Structure 1
Amino acid sequence: MFIAIYFKEKEWLGNVLQAIGTISGIYLTIIIFLQSNEESDKQFRKQFRKQLEHLQILNSKQIDALQSSTEKQIKTFQDLNSKQILALQELNAKQIDALHYETERQIKTIQESTNEQIYSFEQQINYVTNKLKDNSILLAEILSRELEKSLEYYSSILSREEAKYNDLADWKLLRTKEERERQLNQQWNRLEQIKNGYNYLIVKYKNLKQFLGIEQKKLK
């Protein structure tokens, strides 16, 4: 069944065609715009990914460079600190060795001087004792006075060396336990040596006083 509609006037046909053309153009424009926008978005995303990858690579390189620089600085500081510590240890060792050498040299000098003095006094005592057999009372009295001076001298030395021993017994900076024991032993041996000489002179002094018939002087 067909229905035929007839319009008397056909002016609307141009308007319809014009409207269809306009709509078709707009539709095509929208389609082209959407396609172009999608392509542009793809390119933008692709370009963004490239820039992001480039930034990541750049950041990674910067981080690696910073880590490398930091490690080099740390190693430099460690090497410098190690050298400074080694130099300080060497300096301390040299100072300790020099102090030990000087101390031992002084002890040796004092011991040699003490031995010489003891030997000299012994020679004098032997000489005077032999002369006393000839009733040389005058010489005996002179020797007695010399012995008194010597005993006073050795008494002062003993006091000084005992004070030095007590000082060595105290704690000293940079001194090890072995060094302390060694120094104390050396000082003790020296004290014993001086005491032996002192006691020897006392015996001779007492004998001389007895020989001369003079009352013994009180000794400390």
Structure 2
Amino acid sequence: MPTQEFIRNEFSYGYSSGNILSDTPDPVTAKEEAAIGGRYKDVFMSVVAPYLKPGSRILELGPGRGSWTLAMLERGPECEIHTVDFQDLGRWINIPALKGRLVHHQVEQGHTFAPVPKLHFDFFFAWGVLCHWGQADIQRILTGALTCMKPGACAIVQYAAWEKLDAYGWERGGVPESFRTQDDKDIWWPRNSVSEMVNLCRNAGWSVLKADCGIVQRDGVALLSVPG
């Protein structure tokens, strides 16, 4: 599986998905949407916006430059968002100007949610993150995140699903087909599948409401909930 140091360095530039709420996608967003096989605005409105209720507390893993973070802040004006990343989100977003609505936790270990409040959040969101981690790390991450969630909280997590990638096309999906024969530690799109992801989520303590919401063609997008 990729090491934490590899992932920290690979994405140190600050990953961006552009303006995901624009009716006319910018070049960055358009390129990603072509690779993933879906419109980000449609994804946001169908599986993120329903959880942006007044007073909702949101935990986001791996915001990069904050494309999805900014969209949630815009569409959930009464929400509080905590982000967790190796990188300093303050390089790209003026956090003090948001007057406490955005709290960033910069961490050294990708599995740890130690600085994050426990039993505090209503919604967990991870996009463009778990697709880059090996299965053992995904389970550790989901286990850690669960400790921060309230009973009954929900989550949307995007992940690599190689059977969907096979059907969609590796070149079309922007993933080198040479990864098929390489060791997971040397690639940034480790092996995973829908059925394996279900097991990882359940082993981490989550209930799986939908193994794949079917909203993008290349990847899986799971809807989870916290038991109780």
TM-score by length of 2: 0.22
Q: Select the structure with the greater relative contact order (CA < 8 A; seq sep ≥ 6).
A: 2
TM-score by length of 1: 0.22
Structure ranking higher in strand proportion: 2
Structure ranking higher in helix proportion: 1
Q: Greater Rg, structure 1 or structure 2?
A: 1
